[in-house]
């Protein structure tokens, strides 16, 4: 946890005014570790630490400190290019963490992460770029989660206005218009405007399908929310169909991920090679990204609860098995091997060969993993 050091505004030159990282008011304290991040109160510093600052504190130092003079123009250009690249990377990381907070219902923590990404995006792209919209959308989702509907609408309005400005020159990216439609739908759901929500979700699914492909897991979120809308409208037969489709889309995605990415990362760790999963979320790129993992867990848990609630009136064992198998893969990706076995044991009367094959693959890998660990332990004891 970063510590505090008090600052006194009158001690700085007239042209220097430090602002609170959260609210923009005149700062009275700063992070004593990085010494480049300022706050108006202990409350706002604590909120920032919980949301994002502890994860990016050391990185901010090199980005915000005044850079030394370089005599060569080529050196200055190279340094500016490196700083820009680091800022772009940090924009992606802060957004990913903010999205994960939202999917985990940690809305207060999502706000500082989204604000950090927004400020960095403005520095890189300018104040009117469409690249700012993902940050506005995270802020809108966090505001919605905090029941601040007017604040949510303000962020969405800013995102809409930015897109309208962009469309004067060229078409806005479909991935962004899709996400904006999804957020507008979430606000409509909160306002109980279900027909309006369904219209926004139709636009979301259409744009996302054009951009990612009709079966991509990024499209699943639109179908999932549409299923929720029809459930609220008391249309269980439509909800049933949509939730089945969502399960299948995550099932296909996670199975592909299991077969292509996981084993190599774990084996490298056991063999002593450099492992990206070192607790540093800024460099962890070898596995499922943070926001997608959080979305998958959240969606699948809701689908599981829905299936368990309707099990007596509409038994669907195979659907339950697919959900449990998806959760098994997610736990495996997270290397939570105890949960892997627990989740695997919940799969009953399975007649789906794909699940059986994946289970055998996972069990075989865990067995090899245990043997390698035991062998390395014996060798270390002998040495």
pLDDT tens digit sequence for 237-282: 999 999 999 999 999 999 998 887 655 555 555 555 544 444 444 4
pLDDT at 272: 52
Q: What percent of the chain has pLDDT over 70?
A: 90
Dihedral of alpha carbons 183, 186, 190, 195, sign: positive
Examine the pLDDT at 370 and tell me if it is beyond 90. Answer: no
Contact at 8 Å (CB) between 207 and 184?
A: no
pLDDT at 285: 36
| pLDDT, the chain, mean | 88
CA distance 329 to 227: 24
Does 174 fall in a domain?
no
Number of domains in the chain: 1
Q: Which of 113, 138, 137, 106 is nearest to 298 (CA)?
A: 106
User: Is pLDDT larger for residue 106 or for residue 283?
Assistant: 106
CA atoms within 13 Å, Cβ hemisphere of 24: 2
Does 264 fall in a domain?
yes
CA distance 135 to 151: 14
pLDDT at 68: 80
Does 284 fall in a domain?
no
Give the tokens for residue 279: 């607790």
Examine the pLDDT at 15 and tell me if it is beyond 80. Answer: no
Does 14 fall in a domain?
no
pTM across the whole model: 0.83
Mean pLDDT, rounded, for 193-222: 97
pLDDT at 278: 41
Does 189 fall in a domain?
no
CA atoms within 13 Å, Cβ hemisphere of 115: 20
Strand ranges, E, within the chain: 4-6, 29-31, 38-39
CA atoms within 13 Å, Cβ hemisphere of 208: 21
Does 237 fall in a domain?
no
pLDDT at 9: 66
Does 85 fall in a domain?
no
User: Is pLDDT larger for residue 312 or for residue 228?
Assistant: 228
Range of the domain at 339: 247-268+291-382
Give the lowest-confidence range in 56-65, 110-119, 139-148.
56-65
Angle in degrees, 0-180, between the axes of helices 149-166 and 174-190, rounded to the nearest 10: 150
Q: Which of 275, 276, 212, 277 is nearest to 249 (CA)?
A: 212
Does 301 fall in a domain?
yes
């Amino acid at each position: 946890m970063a510590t505090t050091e008090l600052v006194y505004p009158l001690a700085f030159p007239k042209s220097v005014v430090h602002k609170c990282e959260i609210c923009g008011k005149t700062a009275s304290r700063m992070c004593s570790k990085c010494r480049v991040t300022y706050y108006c109160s202990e409350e706002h510093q604590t909120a920032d630490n919980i949301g994002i600052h502890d994860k990016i504190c050391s990185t901010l130092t090199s980005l915000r400190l005044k850079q030394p003079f370089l005599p060569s123009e080529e050196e200055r250009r190279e340094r500016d290019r490196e700083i820009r690249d680091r800022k772009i990377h940090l924009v992606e990381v802060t957004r990913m963490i903010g999205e994960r907070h939202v999917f985990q219902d940690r809305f207060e923590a999502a706000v500082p992460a989204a604000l950090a990404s927004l400020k960095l995006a403005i520095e890189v792209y300018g104040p009117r770029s469409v690249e700012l919209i993902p940050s506005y959308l995270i802020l809108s989702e966090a505001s919605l989660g905090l029941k601040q509907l007017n604040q949510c609408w303000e962020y969405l309005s800013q995102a809409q206005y930015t897109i309208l400005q962009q469309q004067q020159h060229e078409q806005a990216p479909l991935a962004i218009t899709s996400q904006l439609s999804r957020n507008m739908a979430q606000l409509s759901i909160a306002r109980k405007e279900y027909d309006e929500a369904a219209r926004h979700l139709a636009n979301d699914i259409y744009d996302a399908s054009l951009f990612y492909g009709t079966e991509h897991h990024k499209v699943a979120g639109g179908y999932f929310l549409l299923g929720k809308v029809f459930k609220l409208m008391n249309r269980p037969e439509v909800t049933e169909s949509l939730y089945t489709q969502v399960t299948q889309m995550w099932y296909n995605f996670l199975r592909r991920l299991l077969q292509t990415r996981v084993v190599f990362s774990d084996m490298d760790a056991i063999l002593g090679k450099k492992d990206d999963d070192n607790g540093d979320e800024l460099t962890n790129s070898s596995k499922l990204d943070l926001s997608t993992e959080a979305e998958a867990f959240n969606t699948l848990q809701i689908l599981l609860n829905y299936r368990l609630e309707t099990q007596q009136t509409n038994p669907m064992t195979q659907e339950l098995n697919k959900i449990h198998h998806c959760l098994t893969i997610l736990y495996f990706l997270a290397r939570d091997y105890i949960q892997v076995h627990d989740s695997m044991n919940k799969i009953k009367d399975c007649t789906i060969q794909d699940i059986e094959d994946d289970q055998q693959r996972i069990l075989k890998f865990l067995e090899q993993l245990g043997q390698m660990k035991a062998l390395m332990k014996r060798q270390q004891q002998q040495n």
